[in-house]
Amino acid sequence: MAKLPILTAPDPRLKQKAKPVERVDESVRRLMDDMLETMYAAPGIGLAAPQVGALKRVIVVDVAREGEEPQPFQMANPELVWVSDEDANYEEGCLSLPDHYGEVARPAAIRVRYLDAQDEIRELQAEGILATCIQHEIDHLDGILFVDHMSALKRNMILRKLLKAKKQHALPAYSAAAS
């Protein structure tokens, strides 16, 4: 397994739509495993393939708390087949928007259909933080970031801060020897 670099906004690749995988073969399983390792190391509770530069409809999720047994889900081509009428609000963050958070309303419960790591079709009913996390990661597959669910003012403020931070990290360090 390998830890992958995570793209950060406003990288234009995060706004692209991912393509479905034909089947979960060895290369997709390797991507899923690498994504889990990357997510755990970050640390995070979800990661979508576009966040690591792979335009494939693949997500990984594990909302187990620290000290609990890991409960990872590896999903290819996840699709919501049912969502509740009731919404839930959670303060969301994202590995691609480090240190920025915002409240997002999403359906409180969902049913998702996907291909698992063995290329088997599965369905999962989820609620609470697991439902929110899966929806957040599926959004990534469609080029949607959690800030896209917020007001334009809040979204633009966060994206400007991220752009400024990126520019500051890209500047060469000042060296006394260079003067």
DSSP-derived secondary structure for 58-101: EEEE--PPTTSPP--EEEEEEEEEEE-SSEEEEEEE-TTSTT-E
Q: Which residue has the higher pLDDT, 133 or 174?
A: 133
Q: How confident is the model at residue 103 (pLDDT cuts 50, 70, 90)?
A: very high
For the chain, which domains are there? Answer: 12-169 (3.90.45.10)
* Beta-strand relationship, 73-83 and 58-61: antiparallel
Q: What pLDDT is attached to residue 170?
A: 64
Mean pLDDT value of segment 99-117? 96
pLDDT in tens, 136-149: 999 999 999 999 99
Q: What is the pTM of this model?
A: 0.90
Q: Is 22 among the residues known to form the active site? A: no
Task: Give the mean model confidence (pLDDT) for residues 29-42.
Answer: 97
**What pLDDT sits at residue 175?**
39
Confidence of residue 174 (pLDDT cuts 50, 70, 90): very low
Cα dihedral 26, 30, 31, 36 in deg (nearest 10): 140
Q: Return all residues near 151 (Cβ < 8 A) that are at least 6 apart.
A: none
Taking the C-alpha atoms of residue 134 and residue 59, their distance in angstroms, rounded to an integer, is 8
**Looking at residues 115-139, what average pLDDT do you find?**
98
Q: Are 136 and 75 in contact (CB under 8 A)?
A: no
Looking at the chain, the whole-number percentage of residues with pLDDT higher than 70 is 94
Predicted local distance difference test score (pLDDT) of residue 165: 82
